[in-house]
Chain A
């Protein structure tokens, strides 16, 4: 227990310590000022613009920016889909995997361009090294960079006055990749490799088992094939870009993907680092770092509260395990608690912390199986996703989602103090409200309707693995995760069917692109507005009152929209578990 809490405190301290330097650095990158690395990478950047026919000085209006973002993502989809369908004919396929089936390839391609990284596939049994490297890992990079670009465009919307443009998509994309994602990935990848994350192009090695396994049919297995691959390079960006698609099926629970507590710490840090630091970048670019800290504070508070619930519930375990005769008591020699689906090296606290981190952000990597969590412990990640992935959230996407909530908050708060609301000196009027309302409505709509369609159809019902309310939770989690581009799952759901592959893909596309388009529309509209100076009558958006209000709005919207569904899933399951 004590060690668990120390580790959580340590983790959050390191995150908060890094927020400012990295946030500052990213501000330099996006404001196109010298950031240090530009001395080395400047020529590369210019070469990229030349190769791609981009004039970095060309500013774009929000519509053009949107079209560029969509076109680029569409191109990425085609490349990735083609790679999966053709991998059988392509090199770097030592296990000779055949083409990925069309529905799964469609789902996976959508899932990676949308930064969801839902795993309908098992990495080590489906994807060739080439597909993983050239397809999945590349999308890990560029989908994250797309999200960051949209955020930067939105921030510019707040900062600029009477402006028709919000930046250049190609420049934002390139600079995100070149100065932020690639250098950080290199560092993380090498650190991970030092801990034992594999990085090789060789075929899967085979080991002779110490004790052969006798199968039910009497045959005996004497060898163990160990899946390996160019993992470390991909895992680094999988976390940094809040992607979450594992190299292996078991994702970050796999010992070769996350071998030690230190690698686990690094992976969690990598998930939350950029989304956290972007808050500072936001404040810095907006000219008032307190604005960024206020947003970050709201995130951290919700994060800690839900983390506490998850830790408590998992450590407590279930009465069912206890009555079966297992010892769940935490002691100096075991972590105890609900260890089903968890790894011994991580124990309860590091599993719960990872689960909270990966679902608060839209990462979706897992180091333990959420499906086997206690009802309330599993509700935490599910609800964090349903809150709209704004508790840190995905790189870029988390903050722009949170800013949509902030717009809603200032609107309600502004009314309460008798003023037409404004945020960062920009008046929030009916156009912004329309877009922000849609932003908040959209994921709720997709997640609930998706779940409804699934539970009402035979094809959907067939997916549930666990009986009772837990089966419902699996489906609900699935659509929530897809819509909000998280990608983690209650893994029991058999989602590799055409029904799930296609419906979840629709949820992912809607959740990602409609959301982005709406946010860019807000960016365009804000940029064109004039600036309203603050006065004593202006509601402060950087004080504790605003933090409390923002938290309340996020929680209330999330609760009001999902409580009935959660009541039929984890809540009733919890009540059943404790024998009510």
Chain B
């Protein structure tokens, strides 16, 4: 009995060292050496200033930007230090209200648009940090952004195409548009 206790303690110590120290250090070493950009958060640096991560969405509400998906993080949307979804149930009246309010907002920002509103643009993502919107959601916003920025819609569409990622390896996942990168590119157009 005593021997089993001694073995238990010895084992937990040994395995803590192996799996809790050696293993993560090896992975960190390899990752930092081979994939330093990814391992540190895929940060986007603009003129030496960190403007975000290509994997983490940001909140946009100005009509000149493409809007990202609603985010349920607190206290502010897209709080990358506290990821969270809304956890609203499918029949929760709050969910329906949120969706309705968002649609009203979208319609108000572009009164002329008669298109149906893509669902991802009005529903909160699971992490609250979703960097992407669907190509449909991007297309929905083209006219508003082009109008606000006073540029040709085709030019906006060209940028969208540029920042649209197709299915990985041609099969996996869904096609998607990275909002932060797209908006940075839009701002870049103006600076050119």
Contacts and interface: CB of A to CB of B under 8 A. Distances in A.
Contact of B56 (A134, A224, A371): A224
A265 B172 contact: yes
Contacts of B117: 325-327
Interface string B143-180: 00000000000000000000000011101111110001
Contacts of A232: 27, 31, 39
A183 B69 CA distance: 38
Interface in B114-134: 116-120, 122-134
A79 to B, nearest CB: 6
Nearest to B53: A226
B15 A138 contact: yes
B23 A372 contact: no
Interface size class of B (residues with CB under 8 A): 35 or more
Given A182-B18, A215-B75, A372-B90, A317 B119 contact: yes
Q: Give the one of A202, A230, A369 with max B CB within 10 A.
A: A369
Contacts of B136: 327, 331, 333-334
Given A170-B11, A199-B27, A343-B125, A124 B77 contact: no
Nearest to B173: A261
Q: Give the one of B55, B99, B116, B169 with max A CB within 10 A.
A: B55
B92 A336 contact: no
A372 B87 contact: yes
Contacts of A249: 82-84
A178 to B, nearest CB: 8
A53 B78 contact: no
Contacts of B23: 137, 182, 185-186, 233
Given A320-B95, A325-B99, A331-B136, A369 B126 contact: yes
Contact of B41 (A200, A371, A374, A473): A200
A26 B56 CA distance: 39
B80 A225 contact: yes
Interface in B1-55: 1, 3-12, 14-16, 18-21, 23-24, 26-28, 30-32, 34-35, 38-44, 49-53, 55
B87 A491 contact: yes
Given A193-B27, A193-B31, A369-B87, A141 B4 contact: no
Contacts of A53: 3, 6-7, 10
B189 interface: no
Contact of B125 (A142, A326, A344, A470): A344
Contacts of A205: 40-41, 43, 50
Nearest to B168: A261
A540 to B, nearest CB: 39
A254 B55 CA distance: 9
B58 interface: yes
B142 interface: no
Contact of B90 (A141, A250, A318, A329): A318
Interface in B78-100: 78-93, 95-96, 99-100
Interface in A258-275: 259-262, 264-265
Contacts of A342: 123, 125-126
Contacts of B18: 177, 182
B129 A326 contact: no
A375 B89 CA distance: 8
Contact of A262 (B24, B42, B169): B169
B110 interface: no
Given A3-B167, A142-B15, A193-B27, A210 B184 contact: yes
B5 to A, nearest CB: 6
Nearest to A189: B27
Contacts of B130: 255, 343-345
A560 interface: no
B168 A262 contact: yes
B24 A234 contact: yes
A320 B90 contact: yes
A524 interface: no
Given A138-B19, A250-B85, A265-B172, A213 B28 contact: no
B95 A340 contact: yes
A210 B41 contact: no
A250 B56 CA distance: 13
A205 B56 CA distance: 12
17 contacts: A75-B8, A79-B12, A133-B21, A186-B27, A190-B30, A198-B40, A199-B27, A200-B41, A224-B52, A226-B53, A227-B83, A250-B83, A255-B57, A256-B55, A321-B96, A340-B123, A468-B89
Identify the 10 closest CB pairs spanning chains A and B, nearest first. Answer: A261-B173, A253-B126, A250-B83, A327-B116, A470-B89, A492-B87, A466-B89, A347-B174, A261-B172, A369-B85
